[in-house]
Every structure is written in structure tokens, then in C-alpha cells.
């Protein structure tokens, strides 16, 4: 009798397991495929004291305050402390270069591998900064008589030229990784309708260069432009994402539908979107799409998420997602490679150093190894 009962219980258990596997097959396969058991934990913390901005380079976590620019290496010890004077700060990094601008002020600094290479006192009000992997920088600012100006500076601190715009606003300026082209994302709001344009300027021959002006659809709002490793330009707008090659030809990567909740071209090589997927009446899941924009043909990979990310950060090879109580690090094939539980209200995340991620809170940076 006991054997009969045991067999009956075993059959019931196996039936329940079989039903569970059948109903959750895709999730189980995703779990195994994505290796979600690879958990990573904090290796240390860095305290923040009245920090304006935090970013990462190939060798340092860069923290900017009102009177300092500090760098922390793989061992989380302070590598450098540069004295500055800033009211606020905006920051951008690529490779081992980092540019810091005084948001709404006049000061700009560029550092490389912990050394201050140059500083610049802009005759105007700084609105934005960007830098490429070779240390070529663009500074967006405004000045009386002009809506926008863009100053291009070499890695050594030599001012190469300034582009003056009297009738349009510059939202973003990026320099290609071969140092040949300056791309300007501009908006003309003087007319009855908004007109967004992308301008490509030949840096090596500015006086004789015919500016390649590419007009977007009427009413389309440009948000961001980024060069990828092939020196093609990714363009992100409120309607979708496009790819512009050096000849000026433009192709659509993706047109955003109503279900797309988030998108970014940060890092240049990938377009990442997150869209909602209705699962029943009350449950929602989310689909993350990763488009590889450094291929002859743009390819796409997908990952189903249980929670909507609050922040997406992308570098050359990896994608970091902040979700509710968790950090996910994903590769270009949309496979989860690391997970980390988060305790507290994380604001953002940065890549730095030798496979490190900094999770930024109001008063600290929690560092994990990936």
C-alpha cells in the first residue's frame, strides 16, 4: 500500500512539474540561455561628497565636485585629485579621455589618464560637451548674437575652429572616431514648425568644406547623435533611429511605435529600445531590443524583462540596466551575463576600469565586478 501511495505522489509531483515546465517553457529556456545564475556582488564603495557628476574612463571612475576632479582606479583607491572651480558640471568620456564643462558657466577641463591636459575659459555660457576616443572635444555654448556656437579642440588643447549658428539651436555635437567629421544635431524653431537637421562638417578642411546638411521629417524632434566604431552616425529622434554613413546617405534602423517606452544610442555602436508587452489583463513584461549598428546589415537581438528599466547605460560591448532592486549587465547578443541586487534608490550607472560598473547613489558609488 505504501508503495502505491508513493507512486501516486510521485506521479502527482511529476504532473505538476510537467505542467509548470510547459507553461513556463520560454522563461526557463531564457533563464538557462542567459545564465542568470551568474550573480555578482559589491567589491567596495566610494563615498560622494557634494558631487556634481560621475563618469567612467578606461582606467578611472571620475567624480567631479565644486572644487575637485577625482579619479578612482580598479582598487577603488584615489588615483588623482585635480583642483578646479565649478558652479555645476557636465561630463563626457570616451576611452581614457574625459571632458568636464561648467554647466551654465565658462570653464572647461580635459583629463587623460589622471592628468589635466588642458583647460579653457569659454567666452560665453557652456551648454554641452563631448569627446571622442582620441581626445578631440566639442564644446557647445551660447553667446550674445548667436543661438549656438561649437568650439572644436584637439587632444593637445589646440582650438581648431568655432562654428557659429545665428538661427538654430545645437542639441548635440559629436566628433567621429577618425577625427574627420563634426556632426551637429540642430533644431530650427524660428518658423511655425520645428525643423531638425544633422550637419556634417569636414574638420580637416573647414574653410573650404561644403557643409552636408541632412533634413529630418517636418516636426521630428532630434534627441541625440553618436558615432559608432565604423564612423557612421547614429541619429535618435522622437520618431525613431536612423543611420547616416559618411556619404550622407540615411537609412532607418527602427521607427518607434506606441509600445516603445525607452530608447538610447549611447555608446554609438548599439540602438537599445524597450517596449511593453501585455501579458494577460494585469501583468506586463518588457522586450529589450539590441540593434548592432556596426554591421553591414543592422542585426537585432531580444531579451524579455520582468521589470521596466529605470536607466540604461551602454558602452562599446555591454549594456547595463537598472531595474527595481536589481542591476543587469547584458552583452550585444542580449544575453544576461551578470546580475546584482541593489538596496536603495540608485540614480545611474557607469562603466569604468577593468570590467567594473559603478552604481551611483546620492552619497556613494557601489562598485561591482563584471
Decide: 236 and 224 in contact? Cβ < 8 Å. Answer: yes
- How high is the pLDDT of residue 14? 63
> Tell me: the pLDDT tens digits for 249-265?
899 999 999 999 999 99
- How high is the pLDDT of residue 26? 45
Average pLDDT, the chain: 89
- How high is the pLDDT of residue 167? 87
Ranking 30-44, 121-135, 188-202, 293-307 by mean pLDDT, the lowest is: 30-44
- How high is the pLDDT of residue 211? 85
Mean pLDDT to the nearest integer, 331-358: 94
Q: Does the structure show a pLDDT above 80 at 368? A: yes
- How high is the pLDDT of residue 328? 96
Q: Does the structure show a pLDDT above 80 at 268? A: yes
- How high is the pLDDT of residue 189? 78
Helix axis angle for 2-23 and 25-33, nearest 10°, is 80
- How high is the pLDDT of residue 8? 56
Decide: 318 and 334 in contact? Cβ < 8 Å. Answer: no
> Tell me: the pLDDT tens digits for 162-221?
999 988 999 999 999 999 999 999 998 777 788 999 999 999 888 767 789 999 998 899
Per DSSP bridges, beta strands 146-153 and 137-143 are antiparallel
Amino acid at each position: 500500500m505504501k508503495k502505491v501511495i508513493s507512486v501516486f505522489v510521485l506521479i502527482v509531483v511529476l504532473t505538476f512539474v510537467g505542467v509548470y515546465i510547459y507553461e513556463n517553457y520560454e522563461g526557463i529556456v531564457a533563464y538557462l540561455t542567459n545564465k542568470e545564475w551568474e550573480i555578482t556582488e559589491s567589491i567596495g564603495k566610494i563615498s560622494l561628497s557634494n558631487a556634481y557628476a560621475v563618469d567612467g574612463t578606461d582606467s578611472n571612475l571620475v567624480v567631479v565636485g565644486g572644487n575637485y576632479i577625482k579619479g578612482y582606479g580598479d582598487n577603488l583607491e584615489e588615483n588623482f585629485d585635480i583642483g578646479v572651480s565649478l558652479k555645476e558640471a557636465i561630463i563626457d568620456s570616451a576611452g581614457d579621455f574625459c571632458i568636464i564643462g561648467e554647466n551654465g558657466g565658462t570653464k572647461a577641463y580635459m583629463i587623460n589618464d589622471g592628468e589635466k591636459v588642458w583647460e579653457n575659459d569659454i567666452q560665453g555660457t557652456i551648454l554641452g560637451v563631448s569627446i571622442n576616443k582620441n581626445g578631440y572635444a566639442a564644446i557647445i555654448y551660447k553667446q550674445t548674437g548667436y543661438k549656438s556656437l561649437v568650439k572644436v579642440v584637439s587632444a593637445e588643447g589646440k582650438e581648431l575652429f568655432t562654428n557659429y549658428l545665428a538661427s538654430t539651436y545645437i542639441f548635440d555635437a559629436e566628433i567621429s572616431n577618425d577625427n574627420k567629421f563634426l556632426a551637429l544635431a540642430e533644431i530650427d524653431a524660428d518658423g511655425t514648425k520645428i525643423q531638425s537637421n544633422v550637419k556634417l562638417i569636414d574638420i580637416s578642411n573647414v574653410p573650404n568644406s561644403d557643409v552636408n546638411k541632412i533634413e529630418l521629417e517636418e516636426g521630428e524632434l532630434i534627441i541625440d547623435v553618436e558615432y559608432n566604431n565604423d564612423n557612421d552616425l547614429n541619429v535618435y529622434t522622437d520618431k525613431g533611429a536612423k543611420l547616416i554613413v559618411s556619404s550622407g546617405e540615411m537609412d532607418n534602423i527602427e521607427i518607434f511605435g506606441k509600445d516603445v517606452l525607452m530608447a538610447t544610442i549611447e555608446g554609438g555602436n548599439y540602438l537599445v529600445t524597450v517596449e511593453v508587452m501585455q501579458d494577460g489583463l494585469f501583468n506586463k513584461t518588457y522586450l529589450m531590443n539590441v540593434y548592432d549598428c556596426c554591421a553591414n546589415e543592422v542585426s537585432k537581438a531580444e531579451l524579455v524583462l520582468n521589470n521596466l528599466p529605470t536607466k540604461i547605460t551602454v558602452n562599446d560591448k555591454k549594456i547595463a540596466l537598472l531595474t527595481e532592486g536589481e542591476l543587469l549587465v547584458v552583452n550585444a547578443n542580449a544575453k544576461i551575463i551578470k546580475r546584482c541586487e541593489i538596496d536603495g534608490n540608485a540614480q545611474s550607472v557607469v562603466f569604468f576600469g577593468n570590467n567594473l560598473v559603478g552604481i551611483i547613489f546620492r552619497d556613494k558609488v557601489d562598485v561591482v565586478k563584471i
